[in-house]
Structure 1
Amino acid sequence: MDWDDAYANAPYILGADTYPERWSTEARAFRDRMLAEGRASLKQSYGPSKRQRYDLFTPQGAAEGLCVFVHGGYWMKFHRTFWSHFAAGPLARGWAVAIPSYDLCPQVRIADITTQIARAIITIAVRVEGPIVLAGHSAGGHLVARMCVEGVLPKTVFDRIRHVMPISPVSDLRPLINTAMNVDFQLDDASAAAESPVLMAPVDVPVTVWVGADERPVFLDQARWLAEAWDAAHVIDEGRHHFDVIDALQDVDSPMIQHLWP
């Protein structure tokens, strides 16, 4: 099996090279609007490094709760500033939305990023009261799934979580040992297993695993493995691939947004 090809998304998505610029442009316009309305707090710190920052967007009126979206990029790419506009759906439901960035491999290990995201959620939860929902895409799907395991978040924060949605997640990191990306990940059998949600028992919290029907077979597998291991809800989104599956987060009436609040 060609593992690098199996886990490569862009070669199988028409116009894949246009997505990052489009995301960045739409996200910047969204932040500008939110800043003009006094509803954005940007570059908020949750840790010592420059990338340990989050942007917080608030709804009109008092927030019903907090939604945290964790971005993907194989733990090696992107930044919170590419994803601001994906806050639109939760905001329209009256929820505050936080989008953190985090340090990237190979400067840190995946386990370090898990710790950083936990710290981000703890920090943001102090600022926004009420229930919490978590959503994450691809590597971000892995990271929000990791939050479901006992001991990652303190009980005072975890007890506020109402739903977790890993979107197109990597749930078993062991196959990645076979890819060229592992030069940056530096995973071995033990560290890959230690960061694989599919091998862990979740604390009792509703989980929906979401994946695009047109994704690479390995991502369909990764989503299915997690849903089966955790006895979680499993949605296969027809007509969606790895890059556009998250578009539904912008639409308050989309099935994805409706599922986030079961």
Structure 2
Amino acid sequence: MNDTALFRGMDRTALDAAYNNSAAVKDSPQWLDKWRARSAKAREAQGALFDIPYAREERTKFDYFPSGKKNAPLLVFIHGGYWVRNSRDMFSFLATGPNAHGIDYVSAGYTLAPQASITQIAGEIQSCLNFLSGHGEELGYDDRQIFVSGWSAGGHLAALMAAHPAVRGTLPISGIFDLEPLSLNYINESLHFTPDEVKTLSPYRTLRQGLAPQRLVAGGNELPELQRQTRDFAQAARALGLKATDAILPGHHHFSIMDELAEPGGLITRELLTLIAETPANKN
């Protein structure tokens, strides 16, 4: 039976639909195909480095796209796909926006569920940041200016990384900040969230003093639950005195919103520039 209210008055059927971004955007497969094509072209960029391992697993690697500016700030991007699909190479096209402003770009990979738990995935991203925080001089970026972004599930991971000592700020895009509703719908069939993971790996539930500044964005045509999660998380962060902003971008759905980071003049690119300008470099 699906008629029992599980979360915010929604039964299982409604809760599944509330978080099914692919079903909500009928041409989502075409969007992914376009990203792959744009990323293939972006990977022809001079100076780009691929498949740099930060740990020992098959997918624990990153691709690095330098801007050409010496000691540039670094944006680390974490891909989405509800932790179960997609890959870092699909998001190479996003380097264009940051690179145009002298910001180096990394697309980070991680082991997918169900092979990895959400605990392992979060740990892998922490390991990636540990690696990047110690290799700035070697690769050419300023490892005192590391910023983290991510889309969808990657937005969840980006928000978690606001607690990492090397991270100066985060830019979650269409993120998930409370895992509870996903622990009750179809997503959990692959993730198998434990109660402890919902508690300790939900950014909304782990807000505390000392986190890096965060600028959150979501699309005005996104599923209402995605927009709510963004607003609620930012509001809760501000209530604790943390630096957090939220912007709902009119006209964008879950996939079209990424153009706003890929374009040098995009709205998310501007959010990134503001985040960097307002955040001093780490003193390490």
Name the TM-score, length of structure 1 as normaliser. 0.91
2-structure distance, mates of 1:93, 1:210: 20
Determine if the alignment matches structure 1 residue 118 to structure 2 residue 126.
yes
Mapped contact 1:141–1:169 kept (Cα < 8 A): yes
Question: What residue in structure 1 maps to residue 207 of structure 2?
Answer: 201
Aligned partner (choices 102, 106, 111) of residue 98 of structure 1: 106
1:1-262 to 2 correspondence within 5 Å?
Answer: 1=10, 2-32=14-44, 34=45, 37=46, 39-128=47-136, 129=142, 130-149=144-163, 153=164, 155=165, 157-158=166-167, 161=168, 163-202=169-208, 203-231=210-238, 232-262=244-274
Q: How far apart are 1:116 and its partner, in Å?
A: 0.5
Mapped contact 1:98–1:124 kept (Cα < 8 A): no
Name the TM-score, length of structure 2 as normaliser. 0.85
Percent same amino acid at aligned positions? Answer: 28
One-letter code aligned to 2:236: A
1-structure distance, mates of 2:115, 2:223: 28
Partner deviation per Cα, 1:16-63 (whole Å, 9 max, x = no partner): 12122211111011102x1xx2x1110000011110000001112414
Q: How far apart are 1:127 and its partner, in Å?
A: 2.2
What's the secondary structure of 2:246's corresponding residue?
A: strand
Q: How far apart are 1:121 and its partner, in Å?
A: 1.4
Structure showing greater Rg: 2
1-structure distance, mates of 2:122, 2:194: 17
Please provide the CA RMSD for this pair: 1.3
After TM superposition, the structure 1 stretch with the greater mean CA deviation from structure 2, 70-79 or 246-255, is 246-255
Mapped contact 1:63–1:94 kept (Cα < 8 A): no
Runs of 4 or more consecutive aligned structure 1 residues displaced over 6 Å after TM superposition:
none
The count of corresponding residues between Structure 1 and Structure 2 is: 250
Mapped contact 2:149–2:158 kept (Cα < 8 A): yes
What's the secondary structure of 1:68's corresponding residue?
A: strand
1-structure distance, mates of 2:273, 2:146: 10
Question: What residue in structure 1 maps to residue 7 of structure 2?
Answer: none
One-letter code aligned to 1:224: R
2-structure distance, mates of 1:123, 1:91: 21
1-structure distance, mates of 2:191, 2:264: 36
One-letter code aligned to 2:132: I
